[in-house]
């Protein structure tokens, strides 16, 4: 008798999912022992996500405990009371499912089998660019002509700090738009290179002082903005970052434009004169272009990207300095 009452209570419990609807339900029958059955009726397949959050094992164990301890005359009432008291837990489970719908990016208002539409979502992250920079002339690299403005690849660091917003456009298509600051550091191959300017041009000349020259460089700082469409074959919502512990585990690639505005520039020399180390700086615009614009390419895997920036405009104002197009490359983390 008790076994039959257990079956009755479980049927009442499982039937809550589907028997309250009028249209036919998908039914699963599980045989238990010699004559008992568990019947699960699913009226709406969207309920499957709610059922994943439901602790059926604990529910059944609690029911069996009650049925073994109580008189059979109150078994059905106990099952009904249990369902009433458990409604709060069911509500919590449904709330969890509802809260995760947005993260899943699925349009649950349509049919379960057709719900492949993704909502536009934007996520923020901080990223850092670290690499090297150089420039080229219409005839190639300046070192081919032994020019005074030839730079050392090692030591000519490019540094960038970016506030990145990542907006999902489609399943694997994202738009990364960023605001930040960046620094060109052109470390000259010839440590005696000195920068100056007159009313018409920037001048690269040799410093003829009697000193032990160690370093000479030109630094330019910019505020910049970029817009890079990205294909992320893992469909990761967040912009991966080395510091946030988020494991993207996917391949991604993109190319897009950027623009920057120069906010500071200076030349710096380091040398020893009369056994004293000197580090003079000369803050000047040196006829550098106030705007820089170009294309940025990114390719990445996991939480590190490789980047390549190429300035489409010249580093110096036209006819005010050598024809140089700057570029930079390195890692983003």
Domain ranges of the chain: 2-114, 122-332
Q: How far is CA 53 from CA 28, 93, 95, in A?
A: 19, 5, 10
Q: Kindly state the tokens that stand for 285.
A: 């615009």
Phi and psi of 69, rounded to 5°? -90, -30
Spatial distance between the Cα atoms of 191 and 195, rounded to a whole number of angstroms: 12
pLDDT value, residue 242: 53
Contact between residue 23 and residue 42 where contact means Cβ atoms under 8 Å apart: no
Residues of the chain with pLDDT under 70: 1-25, 28-29, 32-35, 38, 46, 49, 53-54, 67, 69-120, 235-249
Q: Indicate the pTM of the whole model.
A: 0.64
pLDDT tens track for 199-257: 999 999 999 999 999 999 999 999 999 999 999 987 666 655 555 555 556 799 999 99
């Amino acid at each position: 008798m008790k076994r039959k009452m257990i079956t009755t209570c479980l049927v009442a419990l499982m039937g809550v999912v589907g028997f309250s609807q009028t249209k036919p339900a998908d039914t699963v029958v599980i045989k238990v022992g010699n004559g008992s059955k568990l019947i699960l009726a699913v009226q709406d397949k969207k309920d499957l996500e709610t059922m994943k959050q439901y602790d059926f094992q604990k529910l059944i164990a609690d029911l069996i405990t009650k049925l073994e301890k109580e008189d059979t005359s109150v078994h059905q009432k106990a099952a009904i009371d249990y369902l009433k008291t458990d409604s709060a837990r069911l509500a919590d489970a449904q709330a969890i499912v509802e809260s995760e719908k947005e993260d899943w990016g699925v349009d649950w208002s349509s049919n379960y089998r057709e719900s492949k539409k993704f909502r536009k979502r934007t996520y923020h992250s901080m990223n850092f660019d670290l690499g090297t920079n150089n420039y080229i002339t219409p005839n190639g690299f300046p070192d081919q002509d032994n020019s005074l403005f030839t730079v050392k690849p090692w030591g000519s660091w490019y540094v960038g700090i970016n506030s990145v917003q990542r907006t999902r456009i489609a399943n694997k298509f994202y738009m990364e738009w960023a605001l930040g600051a960046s620094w060109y550091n052109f470390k000259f191959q010839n440590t005696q290179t000195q920068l100056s300017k007159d009313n018409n041009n920037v001048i690269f000349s040799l410093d003829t002082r009697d000193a032990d020259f160690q370093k000479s460089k030109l630094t330019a700082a910019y505020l910049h903005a970029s817009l890079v469409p990205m294909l992320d074959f893992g469909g990761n919502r967040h912009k991966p970052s080395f510091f946030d512990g988020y494991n993207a585990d996917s391949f991604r690639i993109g190319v897009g434009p950027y623009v920057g505005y120069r906010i500071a520039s200076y030349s710096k020399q380091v040398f020893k004169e009369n056994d004293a180390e000197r580090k003079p700086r000369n803050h000047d615009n040196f006829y550098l272009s106030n705007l820089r614009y170009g294309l940025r390419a990114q390719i990445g895997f996991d939480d590190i990207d490789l980047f390549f920036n190429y300035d489409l405009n010249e580093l110096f104002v036209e006819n005010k300095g050598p024809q140089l197009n700057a570029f930079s490359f390195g890692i983003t983390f």
